[in-house]
Amino acid sequence: MLNLSRVVILATLAVLAAAPAKADSIKFFSGTTGYTGPFSGAGTVYQTIQNNPTACPGGGSACAGGPDIISTPQNFSGGITASAVTGVHNDLQPNFGGLGVGPDSSIPGITDQIDVGELLTIHFSSPVTLTGVATLFDPAHAPFPSGDPLSSSFLLNGVATTFNAANMALLSLVGTDFTFQAIAGNPSFYVSGLTWVPLPGAAWLFGSGVAGIAALTRRRRKNQSAIAA
Lowest mean pLDDT, pick from 20-29, 51-60, 103-112: 103-112
Average pLDDT of the chain, as a whole number: 84
Q: What is the mean pLDDT of residues 60-78?
A: 87
CA-only gyration radius of the chain, Å: 21
The 3-state secondary structure of the chain reads CCCHHHHHHHHHHHHHHHCCCCCEEEECCCCCCCCCCCCCCCCCHHHHHCCCCECCCCCCCCCCCCCCEEECCEEECCCEEEECCCCEEEECCCCCCEEEECCCCCCCCCCCCECCCCCEEEEEEEEEEEEEEECCCCHHHCCCCCCCHHHCEEEECCEEEEHHHHHCCCCCEEEEEEEEECCCCCCCECECEEEEEECCHHHHHHHHHHHHHHHHHHHHHHHHHHHHC
How many residues in the chain?
A: 229
Q: Is the pLDDT of residue 107 over 90?
A: no
pLDDT confidence bin for 13, thresholds 50/70/90: very low
* Helical axes 201-228 vs 4-18, angle rounded to 10°: 170
Q: Which position has the higher pLDDT, 18 or 49?
A: 49
Q: What is the mean pLDDT of residues 163-188?
A: 98
**pLDDT tens string 25-58:** 999 999 999 999 999 999 999 999 999 999 999 8
Q: What is the mean pLDDT of residues 80-101?
A: 95
> Do residues 64 and 56 lie in contact, with contact meaning Cβ atoms separated by under 8 Å?
yes
Q: Is the pLDDT of residue 91 over 70?
A: yes
Q: What is the mean pLDDT of residues 141-165?
A: 96
Q: What CA–CA distance (Å, rounded) separates 133 from 25?
A: 10
Percent of the chain with pLDDT over 90: 66
Q: What pLDDT sits at residue 1?
A: 46
Q: What pLDDT sits at residue 61?
A: 77
pLDDT confidence bin for 64, thresholds 50/70/90: confident
Q: What is the mean pLDDT of residues 205-209?
A: 50
Q: What pLDDT sits at residue 210?
A: 44
Count of other CB atoms within 10 angstroms of residue 172:
9
